[in-house]
Amino acid sequence: MHDGRFLEFDGFTVDVENRLLLRAGRPVPLTPKAFDTLAALLERPGEVVTKEDLLARVWPGAFVEDAILTQNIYTLRKALQEAGGGRSYIETIPRRGYRFAGAAPSGVPEVEPEAARIASLAVLPFQTIAGHADDAYLAFGLADALITRLSNLRSLSVRPTSAVRRFLGGEREPAEAGRLLQVDAVLDGTIRRSGDRLRIGVQLVSVRDDAPSWATRFDTRVTDLFALEDQISQELAEELQLRLSNQERDRLARRATRHPEAYDACLRGRYFWNRRTFEGLTKGIESFRKAIALDPELAAAYAGIADCQVLLPLYGALAPADVFPQAIAAAERALALDDSLAEAHTSLAYARFLFERRWEEAERGFRRALELAPGYATAHQWYAFLLAARGRHGEAVAAARRARDLDPLSLVINSDLGMVLCFARDPAAEEQLRRTLELDGSFAYAHFELGFALQQQGRLDEAVAAFGQASRLARGNPVMQAVLGQALALAGRGDEARRILADLEELAGREFVEASLFAFLWTGLGEQERAIDCLEEACRQGSRFVPFLATWSVYDPLRDHPRWPGLLRTAGLLSPFVAQSTLPEK
């Protein structure tokens, strides 16, 4: 520090009179208000300058919202970091203000911001206030977009969209929602529409204290939603004092598109995709295609199409060969445009695994997705199935548990952990699936997977009951009926099994039915030749049940058949069947 005109710190020179910031003699670009903010902080180095003091100093006599100050601090901090080799010179002291740390005198105690202790976050669907009838997609889509962005940050664990979907609409207490989701804090927001204007209010609620630690408000046009998304995510990262890499900062600031209508179509697509119904998936594809028509370079829209298409065979009577190649093409196009999309890597890997059985490529895809977004629960969930199919049961269980930890209330993820334990022949599968049913006893998929755990233990009457309940809840879903038929046959109730077989054969005359379903029934009925014939056809179809030939207990009765090794070669499964596995210690 020289005199009243000049201040120096860490290679920077502040020319107060000419309102210039220099680094090694070269100007550092700053807006006038950012320079005034820096000057105010430098007047009291090492001390906390309150928000009120900064607002009065930088905007004297004007009414300015906190959001403007927050954006000003962000601009200043970014300029200093870029010029100063990445060092952070400004600290946020939650609920108080800011502190300049670069020139702090010795002996100033370090302050650990409370917000720094926030390691996990849930973004609830925004609540609409006196909005339009179709604003639900906006309330859900804005939350989903923020979740996607924030999930790329390694220093923050963010609950996935599937976990917060239950909070769409209706009354909710943010802190209570946070306790259910097992997070440290909740981002809660409201949307009020007036014509083409939106007023957005957001608050960060501490679950421990049941009180807001940060709140702000934005006024914007409907057409500026992606700019709003930028600002919320950046200000939240600032408030949480997250240590971000340059790559993470770039991702946080990156805009998917500059076309407002394309962005709106993407929000609608994600809203429909998250419904997880056949109708929702088809509407989602329509919305994403509309977005592409408006912006052909919109990578997120191609990724959305891939996400929808890999799930379509699970919800409708569609042949895998009619859907998965389209999903692969869409995911590849998305990654050609933007290789940083974890969702596109995940859907492509899932299709490579289930449909093409290109194991190594699929595994690389899952690993890349998790490198980009370690908190993406779906990537852990689907990767667990690939590992289970390869007989790597310890890794599979660890991946499935990680997915469950990231999304503890997800019924399907909790069920799939039970199924992965079942593939590993671990008796803990039954306990896990019964815990899932405690969350929701009407969830058909958990009854379905419980049936396998019971059948594996030889408790056939209980397995029949579980499969029967699954079929009733799923309204006679063909997959549920087929495994029920196998369990009936194994339990000595062959006549009932053959009635189910006849029903499926009649259904196959009207719509697509996977050959694997007939294989389940013929296996239970002891007709091994017919079962293997059906499995060979299932290999040609790209059936989702084929990758598990080497490890799934439902195929145990076929393993001694002379044609079995050839079937495994056809399926691309060269590894021997793993009867037992080494599981990680619980």
pLDDT in tens, 482-495: 999 999 999 999 99
Give the bridge partners for 23, in sequence order.
12, 26
3-state SS assignment for residue 574: coil
User: How much is the pLDDT for 3?
Assistant: 45
Burial environment of residue 220 by CB neighbours within 10 A (0 to 12, 13 to 18, 19 or more): middle
Burial environment of residue 584 by CB neighbours within 10 A (0 to 12, 13 to 18, 19 or more): exposed
456-469 residue pLDDT tens: 999 999 999 999 99
Give the bridge partners for 198, in sequence order.
193, 220
104-120 residue pLDDT tens: 433 233 333 343 468 88
Handedness of CA 311, 157, 390, 303 (dihedral sign): positive
Q: Which two tokens stand for residue 461?
A: 């009457």
Lowest model confidence (mean pLDDT) among 49-53, 235-239, 458-462, 469-473: 235-239
User: How much is the pLDDT for 410?
Assistant: 87
Nearest to 330 by CA among 353, 305, 311, 355: 305
Pairing between strand 48-50 and 97-100?
antiparallel
**Between 243 and 578, where is the model more confident?**
243
Cα Rg of the chain (Å, integer): 28
Pairing between strand 97-100 and 127-129?
unpaired
Residue 387 sits at φ, ψ, to 5 deg, of: -60, -40
User: How much is the pLDDT for 116?
Assistant: 40
Residue 200 sits at φ, ψ, to 5 deg, of: -110, 125
Q: Where in the chain is the domain with CATH 3.40.50.10610?
A: 115-253
Pairing between strand 6-9 and 12-15?
antiparallel
Q: In whole angstroms, how far apart are CA 437 and each of 337, 434, 442, 524?
A: 42, 5, 7, 27
121-145 residue pLDDT tens: 999 988 887 655 566 777 788 888 8
Residue 295: its H or E element = none
pLDDT band at 581 (very low <50, low <70, confident <90, very high): very low
pTM: predicted TM-score of the whole model, two decimal places: 0.74
Q: In whole angstroms, how far apart are CA 453 and each of 401, 439, 520, 527?
A: 18, 18, 16, 23
> What one-character-per-residue DSSP string does 494-539 give?
HHHHHHHHHHHHHHHTTS---HHHHHHHHHHTT-HHHHHHHHHHHH
> What one-character-per-residue DSSP string does 229-269 give?
HHHHHHHHHHHTT----HHHHHHHH--S-S-HHHHHHHHHH
Q: Could you tell me which CATH number the domain at 115-253 has?
A: 3.40.50.10610
Nearest to 559 by CA among 549, 570, 569: 549
One-letter identity of residue 152: N
One-letter identity of residue 405: D
90-103 residue pLDDT tens: 888 877 888 887 65
Q: Which fold has domain 6-111?
A: Arc Repressor Mutant, subunit A (1.10.10)
Handedness of CA 309, 311, 317, 320 (dihedral sign): positive
Q: What is the rounded (10 degree) CA torsion for 534, 452, 483, 518?
A: 0
**Number of CB atoms found within 10 A of residue 464's CB:** 22
Q: Is 10 left (phi over 0), alpha (psi -120 to 50) or beta?
A: left
Lowest model confidence (mean pLDDT) among 150-159, 371-380, 446-455: 150-159
Place of tokens 């209706």: 170
Residue 532 sits at φ, ψ, to 5 deg, of: -70, -35
Q: Angle at CA 309, nearest 5°, toward 305 and 311?
A: 130
**Number of CB atoms found within 10 A of residue 212's CB:** 17
- Calculate the average pLDDT of the chain: 84
* In the predicted structure, residue 292 carries a pLDDT above the cut 90: yes
One-letter identity of residue 238: E
249-280 residue pLDDT tens: 666 656 666 787 888 888 888 888 877 788 88
Residue 581 near residue 554, CB atoms below 8 Å = no
pLDDT band at 170 (very low <50, low <70, confident <90, very high): low
- Rounded Cα distance between 377 and 400, Å, is 9
Q: Where in the chain is the domain with CATH 1.10.10.10?
A: 6-111
Place of tokens 């309150």: 50
